[in-house]
């Protein structure tokens, strides 16, 4: 199963791809998409759309995971982040991928063990859990962390659904 994690942002959107086989995770690729800060909002959203589409077409993930938005003190910034996040959800969905969404605290707790871990801790654990990922920048490391979170939680969700299906099959 190939998973892409996306850490959305209007200025910088991090992305990270990993392969998950059983309990083993292996690094595939990562990067950061940047938009032209001087461009109009609509043009920046198109830049994000086109960039994410190219990444997805290049790496061919089976599923996607996107970090949920946290609310900033600045409502304008929160709104712009929400619009970038909408693009991060739209692109993989338009390609027919399942898209998981995870709050930042769950991502940090899954990867680091603490829901309020610092960015540096996330980067260090991503590097430890995904040898070969090198020195991913903060945005790409966050995206890889989202992909790791999805890999762990999708397995748990699949087991719960399978157990429920077995239980329902015995209740006929």
Active site residues: 7, 67, 139
The β-bridge relationship of strands 2-7 and 63-67 is parallel
Long-range CB contacts for residues 78-82, cutoff 8 Å, separation at least 24 = 80/10, 80/41, 81/8, 81/9, 81/10
In SS3 terms, 126-156 reads as HHHHCCCCCCCCHHHHHHHHHHHHHHHHHHH
Residue 20 CB contacts under 8 Å (≥ 6 apart), including other chains: 1, 2, 3, 151
Count how many Cα atoms sit within 13 Å of the Cα of residue 110 in the half-sphere of its side chain: 21
First to last CA, the chain: 33
């Amino acid at each position: 199963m190939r998973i892409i994690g996306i850490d959305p942002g209007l200025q910088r959107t991090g992305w990270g791809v990993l392969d998950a086989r059983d309990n083993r995770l292996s690094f595939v690729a990562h990067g950061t998409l940047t938009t032209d800060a001087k461009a109009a909002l609509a043009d920046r959203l198109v830049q994000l759309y086109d960039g994410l589409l190219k990444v997805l077409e290049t790496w061919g993930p089976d599923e996607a995971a996107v970090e949920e938005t946290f609310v900033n003190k600045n409502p304008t910034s929160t709104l712009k982040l929400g619009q970038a996040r909408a693009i991060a959800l739209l692109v993989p969905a338009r390609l027919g991928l399942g898209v998981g969404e995870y709050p930042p605290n769950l991502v940090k707790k899954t990867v680091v063990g603490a829901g309020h871990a610092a960015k540096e801790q996330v980067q260090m654990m991503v590097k430890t859990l995904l040898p070969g990922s090198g020195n991913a920048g903060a945005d790409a490391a966050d995206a890889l962390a989202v992909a790791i979170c999805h890999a762990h939680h999708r397995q748990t969700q699949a087991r719960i659904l399978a157990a429920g299906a077995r239980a329902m099959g015995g209740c006929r």
